[in-house]
Amino acid sequence: MKEQLINALPMVVVTFLIALGSVAWLVPKVRAFALRVGAYQEGGKSHGIGKRLHSGALPNIGGVAIFLGFILSLLAGSFFLPSLMGDVIIDDVRIKLLSIVLGATFMCLVGFIDDMWEVPVSLRLATQLVAAGLLVMNGIKITFITDYFGNQDYLFFTSEFLATTITLLWIVGFTNAFNFIDGLDGLSSGIAAISSLALLAVAVNFSNPATSAAMLLLAAIAGSSLGFLRHNFNPAKIIMGDSGAYTLGYVLAAVSVLGALKVTALVSVATPVLILGLPVVNITQVTIKRLLRGRSIAMANNDHIHDIIRERSGSKRLTVIILWCATLALGTIGMFLSKTPAELIYLTIAGTVTLIALVCFLRFREAAEEQKDLRDNSI
């Protein structure tokens, strides 16, 4: 594990820093563009049978900055891949990476169009199935279930049909689950950062052809999410919209199936239940609740986990922090179950908390300065 970590460290650090820096730099540019073209959402307005919870007019295409920073960091980090694996392996890994990038592009594009003009649910689902199908066609699929608590390496191997079906359901399901959790300032970007850092710690434990690709993707997601959180923490200056939620959800779902992460936790069972569990729990309870009430699953409403906690806590910011802590707790359990060394678990927890606290502090300080400027100008 130590050798794997040392060898991959330059790639991870460079990818992470470029993703963080580029997204943090791009967001103000995307925000200005969104305001010019009218790509924003009015807070407090009705949304489905619920209402939007933010205040004022917020640009809603922040996912464009996330996607661009994600791609830039992947391009930079990919230069390290040949030194981490053989020539034959690198070709196969590049194909898998390209399929994930192409699928993420589809997700960002359909999300962007939906943010601007609204896309029918059927078309969104069709695009998601195409993007998920790209993964299956290029060998990224759930082919076995790990036996975590028994004596066997694998509980059972799936058939080709079952592998395809489970993978499509997982990719499409989690993409939408992540979109559902995007309801409060900073919530989804923080969850993406915490989950990707936890999965990154798990990936370091395994050495197989796709591990390096998984670490590259996870470092890019973590950096992009934190770079966006720098501007998205309450009070947010921009929201990621469907373009960002679909991109992050899709890539997180894909990387959880890729290579070494098949060993993390029962693939399609423990991975979403643990490290990626919160969005899954949320969409499950929302789906059941809406079906029991005879309402459309796709009809927006304020009945998510974050809405329930917000109403009881009386604070949007406290609700976000509570759900971040829940995600970190689930990630910690996932790391322990995957036999991640204790020192790496503690380092991941400390690093995650420090990074999130830092970017939130920067946003909080900026917001305080903006309020001060407004007061000075009003005098």
> What residues pair up with 51 in beta bridges, in sequence order?
46
Full-model pTM: 0.92
What is the structure's pLDDT at 108? 97
157 has which bridge partners? 144
The residue with tokens 């790509």 is 39
Number of neighbouring beta carbons within 10 Å of residue 174? 24
What pLDDT sits at residue 229? Answer: 98
Tell me which residue has tokens 């279930």.
145
Reduced to 3 states (helix: H, G, I; strand: E, B; else coil), residue 125 is: helix
* Cα-based angle 314, 318, 319 (whole degrees, multiple of 5): 80
CA 221 from centroid of its chain's CA atoms: 7
Q: Please report the pLDDT score of residue 263 as a whole number.
A: 46
At residue 332, what are phi and psi to the nearest 5 degrees?
Answer: -65, -45
pLDDT digits 0-9 by tens, 162-214: 888 888 999 999 999 999 999 899 999 999 999 999 999 988 877 666 788 88
Q: Distance (Å, rounded) from C-alpha 250 to C-alpha 225?
A: 14
In angstroms, the Cα distances linking 334 to 2, 145, 209, 275, 319 are 20, 16, 22, 6, 23
CA distance 215 to 199: 8
Q: What CA–CA distance (Å, rounded) separates 201 from 333?
A: 12
Q: What pLDDT is recorded for position 248?
A: 97
Cβ burial, residue 41 (10 Å; 0-12/13-18/19+): middle
Q: How high is the pLDDT of residue 259?
A: 56
Query: Which candidate, 126, 84, 82, places its Cα nearest to that of 107?
Result: 126
Q: What is the pLDDT of residue 379?
A: 60
Where do the domains of the chain lie? 2-378
**pLDDT at residue 113, as a whole number:** 96
Residues in the chain where the model's pLDDT stays below 70:
1-5, 44, 48, 54, 84-89, 144-159, 207-209, 259-273, 378-379
**Residues of the chain above pLDDT 90, percent:** 58
Q: How far apart are CA 375 and CA 147, in angstroms?
A: 61
Phi and psi at 186, nearest 5°, equal 80, -10
Q: Which amino acid is at 318?
A: L
pLDDT attached to residue 269: 46
Task: Please confirm whether the linkage preceding 279 is cis (ω < 30° from 0).
Answer: no
